[in-house]
Structures are given as structure tokens and as C-alpha cells.
């Protein structure tokens, strides 16, 4: 039995608790969060938010990629959000990963992707670059509200690096 099979088998037990007929697709706190897919991160609990209050976008590294900008653009232009938080974290899988090794492994599989891994060696500098990219993205009408935070999965602490 795969994890997916187990999830499907137990889904009916969760449905009543999950149902949100009182909510709409518009996030109540007008916030969009871009964070990493790291399994240790629970963005709603981390931010003290509830379901329905914010958009949560996740990718490897919490990077401001073209597709993250696409989703943030939908979030602001179609669904009313006005603030953006980018949350990177300590011990990220992309920290000190090798762009070249990853590229070589893909090439061995016969793939030359148009995207890059996004490996980085300086967490704060990478966060600052993502924040700067979003603040310069005219796809986002509310780009001046973009801020960056760093989370530590070991301690649960969330901090805003000084600019």
C-alpha cells in the first residue's frame, strides 16, 4: 500500500472537519506567502494563521521564480491580496547544493531543462534578491509590501533579517 492509497482510504474520516462552506477563495487577511516545500514547515501554524486567511505558495527554496510571480499575480489581481511574505529557512535542501551536479544528473537522464535548480550558499542574500525581484515585478500591483523572513525549523523561531 502506498502513502497515497492510505490517504485515500482515510480521507472520508477527515472530510467533515476539512469542509469550509463559510469561506470564499479570497484570503481574509489579504496576504500571500511564498515559502519552501520543506516538510518541516507548517506555514499556517508558523504564522499564527487559519485556513482561508492567506495564500500559501510553495516551491523548492521559496524562490521568486517566474511561476511564483504568476501565482502572486493571480493572488493580487484576481483574489485581492495586498501583502507578500517570502519565508526562507535554515537547513534548506538547496543551501550549498550543487547546480553543476544536478544539471549533470538531469543531462544523464537526457534532459536539458529551461530552469535551473536554484542552489544558493547565502540564505540572507538569496532572500534579499527574491524580495528585490518581487518588489520590481510590475505584475504585482502591491509590490512595495513585499517582505522577507527566515524560519529556523530547529527552534521554531521566525525573524526578519535587517536590510
C-alpha cell read off for 93: 535542501
- Binding positions for Zn ion, 77-116, rule CB under 5 A: 92
* Cα distance between residue 6 and residue 131, in whole Å: 39
Figure out which of the listed residues 34, 36, 84, 131 binds Zn ion, where binding follows CB under 5 A. Answer: 36
Who contacts 109 (Cβ-Cβ below 8 Å, separation ≥6)? none
Shortest spacing between CB 131 and Zn ion, in angstroms: 16
Q: Does 38 bind Zn ion (CB under 5 A)?
A: yes
Interface segment toward Zn ion; rule CB under 5 A; list 36-44, 48-56, 130-138, 141-149: 36-44
Q: Does 57 bind Zn ion (CB under 5 A)?
A: no
Q: Beta strands 83-89 and 31-36: pairing type?
A: parallel
What pairs with residue 20 in β-bridges? none
Q: Site for Zn ion (CB under 5 A): how many residues?
A: 3
* Residue written as grid cell 543551501: 95
Binding site for Zn ion (CB under 5 A): 36, 38, 92
Amino acid at each position: 500500500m502506498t502513502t497515497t492509497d492510505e490517504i485515500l482510504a482515510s480521507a472520508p474520516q477527515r472530510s467533515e472537519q476539512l469542509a469550509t462552506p463559510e469561506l470564499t477563495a479570497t484570503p481574509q487577511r489579504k496576504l500571500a506567502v511564498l515559502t519552501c516545500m520543506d516538510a518541516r514547515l507548517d506555514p499556517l501554524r508558523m504564522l499564527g494563521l487559519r485556513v482561508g486567511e492567506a495564500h500559501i505558495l510553495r516551491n523548492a527554496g521559496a524562490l521568486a521564480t517566474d511561476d511564483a510571480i504568476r501565482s502572486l499575480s493571480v493572488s493580487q489581481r484576481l483574489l485581492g491580496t495586498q501583502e507578500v511574505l517570502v519565508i526562507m529557512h535554515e537547513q534548506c535542501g538547496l543551501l550549498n547544493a550543487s547546480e553543476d551536479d544536478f544539471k549533470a544528473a538531469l543531462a544523464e537522464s537526457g534532459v536539458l531543462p529551461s530552469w535551473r535548480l536554484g542552489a544558493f550558499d547565502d540564505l540572507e542574500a538569496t532572500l534579499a534578491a527574491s524580495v528585490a525581484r518581487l518588489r520590481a515585478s510590475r505584475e504585482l500591483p502591491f509590490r512595495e509590501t513585499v517582505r522577507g523572513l527566515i524560519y529556523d525549523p530547529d527552534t521554531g523561531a521566525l525573524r526578519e533579517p535587517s536590510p
